[in-house]
Chains A and B, each alone.
Chain A
Amino acid sequence: DAGVIQSPRHEVTEMGQEVTLRCKPISGHNSLFWYRQTMMRGLELLIYFNNNVPIDDSGMPEDRFSAKMPNASFSTLKIQPSEPRDSAVYFCASSGFGFRYFGPGTRLTVT
């Protein structure tokens, strides 16, 4: 299995632009998580889905952030409009049998 796949691995964009991060979970896993890593706050859970349904989005910082999971093999995290304070590493993770597997992350830089 290829593990959790995220794209792009790096994204540099200007303030105000829309950013879309993508994730393909491990096949057969029924839960998917989006995390953000910063130096100050460590790994923060933004949102998680179970069987494609959003269960808890209380970590989504504000309305500029949105996430979708249209099917069991794909999810997106969108930021519109992006701001410099959104610069961080964004991880997607999936779990199906108790263990959580993380993707390699997308490093987002907003200038």
Chain B
Amino acid sequence: DQQVKQNSPSLSVQEGRISILNCDYTNSMFDYFLWYKKYPAEGPTFLISISSIKDKNEDGRFTVFLNKSAKHLSLHIVPSQPGDSAVYFCAASRFGNEKLTFGTGTRLTIIP
């Protein structure tokens, strides 16, 4: 039972444009959400997070939006740069709980 779903395995975006990565979850107990970025031959690295008391969190070019009623979150990257090409994982947990549930990942390719 996949509680965190990333339905797009891959996404290609032109450099300078906006990249939008989507994530859906089914467990209504989740109240803390994270995005991780992974380059080949490296482990995932933390990118940005959001708690359920907010609907938006911004950090530079990265913004995460949370729609609790739809159980949906998205990561926006503006403007997209070649170095953003990586696999992005969405993850969810109950705040304070060490157990993170990850999605299957979306491979983002930025086209120069």
Chain A residues with CB under 8 Å of chain B are 4, 31, 33, 35, 39-45, 48, 50, 55-56, 91, 93, 95, 99-105
A91 touching B98 by the CB < 8 A rule? Answer: no
* Stretch of B38-46, B55-63, B64-72, B75-83 on the interface side: B38-46
- Chain B interface category by residue count: 10 to 19
Chain B residues with CB under 8 Å of chain A are 2, 4, 6, 41-46, 89, 91, 98-105
B103 touching A105 by the CB < 8 A rule? Answer: no
Describe B's contact surface by its main secondary structure: loop
B98 touching A43 by the CB < 8 A rule? Answer: no
CB nearest neighbor in B for A3: B43
Describe A's contact surface by its main secondary structure: strand
CB nearest neighbor in A for B41: A104
Given contact pairs A42-B104, A43-B91, A105-B41, enumerate 19 new A-B contacts (beta carbons under 8 Å). Answer: A31-B98, A35-B102, A39-B104, A40-B104, A41-B104, A43-B44, A43-B102, A43-B105, A44-B102, A45-B99, A45-B101, A56-B99, A91-B43, A100-B46, A101-B45, A102-B43, A102-B44, A102-B45, A104-B43
